[in-house]
Structure 1
Amino acid sequence: MSETKIIAIDDDPTGSQTVHSCLLLTSWDVETLLVALQDDSPLFFILSNTRSMDAARAAEVTRAICVNLKRALHELKQQGRAINPIVVSRSDSTLRGHYPVETDIIAEELGPFDAHFLIPAFFEAGRFTRDSIHYLLVDGEAVPVHETEFARDSVFGFSTARLPDYVEEKTGGRIKATQVQRFLLDDVRSDCRKRLRGLAGNVCCVVDCETQADLNQFAEQLQEVAREGKRYLFRSAASLLTALAELPAQPVNADDMAYYVRDGNPGIILIGSHVAKTSAQLAYLRQHTDVVPVCVDVERLNVNNAEVWLEQAALVANALIAEVEAAHARGKTVVIHTSREELKFPTQAERLAFGERISAFLMDLVRRLPTTIGFLISKGGITSNDVLSTGLGLRQSRVLGQILTGCSVIRCPADHNRYPNLPVVIFPGNVGDETALARAYSILTTQQKKQAISGAG
């Protein structure tokens, strides 16, 4: 039997939101991949950030990752260590992303696969699949995902929550809904190993699951059959990774994450996500805590002329950093957030290009934050990927655990040139209720509050 390793090619950095102690890679050169393949953790993540790209660029990046991964696997095999990878194209639990672009490229470069599975469940955030229809819990009510704001995404919109029909829609009819194999709840909750062994030709399968126990049982059977030599590809959200990895409890309890805050200092909360849930969390945070808000007015940065853009961006950035430094000197945590109105653009390409310019602007701010900040909360998947790879310049980092359901904590290395040992919270845009961001802030500032009470006494 071959050794297995779970490899998640993640289209933003939030797929680690149910696991811990594994590596996140923002670089995918062969040398870095060899380190991750030989790491003790049963899984690792390659952060492609393709959800922020157009389809052509997403395909190019995915192919580059797969080519290098194939080389790294071959090199290990030559050394006598054969690995049969369990490859997961990790994406959004609300069905947004470059499907089937990414799974097609992975199949071309790392295949052949016997099947590819769509499993978008993320139970911690109330996303599950029943009778092949994918649901989100909204105020306690199960709502088909195509009836939510996520289905109206200007880049990744879709018209149906029934997964076989979603596959037909997204593949342009190349895979018909009737060709999709459905693993219903009765199948998942029984012995389906014989059926799994019979899959061939990269057939598309969709999987029901209402609870983590459903997925755990299904994943156990998948892995058993994979160890026999069957090869499967997955397009999933985070809960499948929980099932595949089978990790013990995280080393540091969520409520004790203030342990990592540097010297009990105030921090920075950076908000790039503009989904409605993030806006509600920001409003609650401002109303119920003592954070100092600093707004990035994106309209002021909506400039097409490159020279004018640079001048305007410099003026805006200098003013914002002055506000941040003044508040930090007073012992206050600052929340830097983009203005909440999403600008409209004539084309998808123009929208993506403007998003890249705004991200570059925010990363310039990250590189200029006070060196003594105690922590950083990054809100939004694309924003968080850019914080790790560009703002902080990390080639790899290790997930410490979750501070809240779905919110991972990593830490900068001790030899980081600007922010050694800085804890960073990766907080997805569409996770948590309206109090969640304030709760994460409260956990991280527990030590600071204790010090303030002690000083007052």
Structure 2
Amino acid sequence: MQPKIIVLDDDPTGSQTVHSCLLLTRWDVDTLRLGLADESPIFFVLTNTRALTPTQADAVTREVCRNLKQAIALEGLQDFLIVSRSDSTLRGHYPVETDAIAEVLGPFDAHFLTPAFFEGGRFTRDSVHYLVINGVPTPVHETEFARDSVFAYHHSYLPDYVEEKTQGRIAAEQVERFLLADVRAGVAARLLALSGNTCGVVDAETQDDLNRFAADVLAAASQGKRFLFRSAASLLTALANLPPQPVAPADMATYVRDGKPGAIIVGSHVKKTTEQLEVLLQAPGVVPVEVDVAKLLPDSPMSRDVLLANLLHQVHAAHTAGQTPVVFTSRQELTFADAQTRLDFGMAVSRLLMDIVRGLPADVGFLISKGGITSNDTLSDGLALTSARLLGQILPGVSVVRTPPDHPQFPNLPVVLFPGNVGDRTAVAQAYQRLSQAS
């Protein structure tokens, strides 16, 4: 029997390789039971912990796991796998989240780092994790992501990454390495021998590699082994083993409401997003609406209310003219005294963007949200969803969900969840063009 795959997702983009399942933005026991009882083999709990401090991430993860324990007991569920889904470029609260999960839902025989995400050009070879940039495989510690102001790290060799992040609690030489030759030959016997929450890192260059690894994992789990995963999205494809999505990526315009123009919200600040924004703004039918975030600083002469009113006026004017407003945060990098001040300012920017989402025209045809944290806030705050049904992907690694038919403001609205670090320069423009075919 297929175990239920329970994914605690630290932003809402980890569902980017599966379809037809539930994304939950709340984690009370009753909401978690919806996911456990759903017919799909997989569901996601959107914890948004990547936007939180380590202490907050620990508290949220423990709360989810305590409620899960109750929900699992009430549903009488025997077989399940827990995945802590995080970023394929190694940013996020590791080992904070896996430690919390292990304490509440453990013990586990092992936890595995499986950061490969093929749709985004991320693979692992000889325990070194790579990101393909302009066709060149680049060790991730040499990319902008390793210099993240909150989640910086210095190693692409995963055993060294584990030692760095656990501050030496797990030494590099203690990490079990599952190399490509091992995975392709089969690792079932090795999996059965693991115990004591051993840390393992897994090579994968193709989806077939993870399919093979997942088959061995499921076989070992059926014999009573308990495993935890710190994973990017591609392992989820292998574990869930779903058929093709119901509506093809090129035909997603069929979900657009009444063929109306949409709206696009861009919060992500990574270089890739800025390049994609430049291409998008050259597309026909879009209108730029820039949010000057410096106007949210405490010493700004403009009040927040005036700023919001000005932005919503531009959004509605574009929509009335049959065009799609692209609301984007200004691209200049502001500097802050410390990481907490930066996080707090990021939340203030997000609250403004969510006020814009709530103020969108009632008959907007579709919504594209660019950036992981922005997308999470769009679902849980801007649209105030408890759950959403995942339709599938519009581009590789880019999911589309739909609001429920009884949503009080935007029923049956297709919403694109576009990670900050996915796609080439033209990707956001492509997603827009696919949806605006109906406009």
What TM-score range do you get, normalising by the shorter chain? over 0.9
- Aligned residue in 1 for 2:103: 108
**Aligned match of 1:64:** 63
In 1: Cα distance, 2:209 partner to 2:29 partner: 36
- The residue identity in structure 2 corresponding to 1:426 is L
Aligned partner letter, 1:99: Y
Structure 1 vs Structure 2 CA RMSD: 1.1
Matched position secondary structure for 1:242:
helix
Q: Percent identity?
A: 61
* Whole-angstrom distance in 1 between the partners of 2:436 and 2:118: 28
Matched, 1:213 2:208: yes
Aligned equivalent of 1:27: 26
**1:241 and 1:369, CA in 2 relative to 1: closer, same or farther beyond 3 A?**
same
Selected match of 1:418 from 389, 394, 409? 409
Query: Which one of 283, 290, 297 corresponds to residue 288 of structure 1?
Result: 283
Compute the displacement of 1:210 (Å). 0.4
Deviation of the 1:289 alpha carbon: 2.9
Q: Partner letter of residue 27 of structure 2?
A: W
Indicate whether 1:443 and 2:434 are aligned: yes
Distance, in Å, in 2 between the alignment partners of 1:3 and 1:251 is 21
Shift of 1:415: 1.1
Q: Which amino acid aligns with 1:17?
A: Q
The alpha carbon displacement at 1:4 in A equals 1.5
Q: Select which of 153, 160, 163 maps to 1:158.
A: 153
The question of whether the paired residues in 2 share the 8 Å contact of 1:5 and 1:83 is answered with: no
> Which residue number corresponds to residue 177 of structure 2?
182
1:89 aligns to what SS in structure 2? strand
Secondary structure of the 2:281 match is helix
CA positional deviation for 1:227 = 1.2
TM-score, normalised with respect to structure 2: 0.99
Q: Residues of 1 paired with 2:269 and 2:297: CA distance?
A: 16
**Does the residue aligned with 1:424 lie in a helix, a strand or coil?**
strand
Is 1:76 matched with 2:75? yes
1:105 alignment partner AA: A
- Report whether the alignment pairs 1:367 with 2:344: no
Is 2:137 the counterpart of 1:148?
no
Counterpart check, 1:302 vs 2:297: yes
Structure 1 residue 192 displacement after superposition: 1.3
Q: CA deviation at 1:3?
A: 6.0
| Structure 2 counterpart of 1:314, from 285, 305, 321 | 305
- Count of residues paired in the alignment: 439
| Secondary structure of residue in 2 paired with 1:134 | strand
Quote the residue 1:344 is aligned against.
Answer: 335
User: Residue 135 of structure 1 aligns with which residue?
Assistant: 130
Deviation by residue 1:219-246 (Cα, 9 ceiling, x = unmatched):
0110011011100000000000001000
> Aligned AA for 1:197?
L
Cα separation, 1, equivalents of 2:253 and 2:378: 21
> 1:290 Cα deviation (Å)?
2.9
Deviations 1:302-344 (A, max 9, x none): 117xxx89x7111100001011111110000000000011211
Q: In structure 1, what is the Cα distance between the partners aligned to 2:205 and 2:175?
A: 20
Match of 2:247 in 1: 252
* Runs of 5+ unmatched residues, structure 1: 449-457
Matched, 1:240 2:235: yes
Alignment equivalent of 1:169, drawn from 164, 173, 186? 164
Which position in structure 2 is the counterpart of 1:382?
373
TM-score calculated relative to the size of structure 1:
0.95
Structure 2 CA distance for aligned equivalents of residues 45 and 342 of structure 1: 32
**Residue of structure 2 equivalent to 1:45:** 44
* 8 Å Cα contact 1:26/1:47 also seen in 2: yes
Q: Is the 8 A contact 1:265 1:372 kept in 2?
A: yes
Partner of 1:90: 85
* DSSP-derived class of the 1:292 partner: strand
Encode CA deviations 1:71-121: one digit per residue, 9 max, x unaligned: 1111122xxxx3222100000000000000000000000000000000000
Q: Secondary structure at the match of 1:83?
A: coil
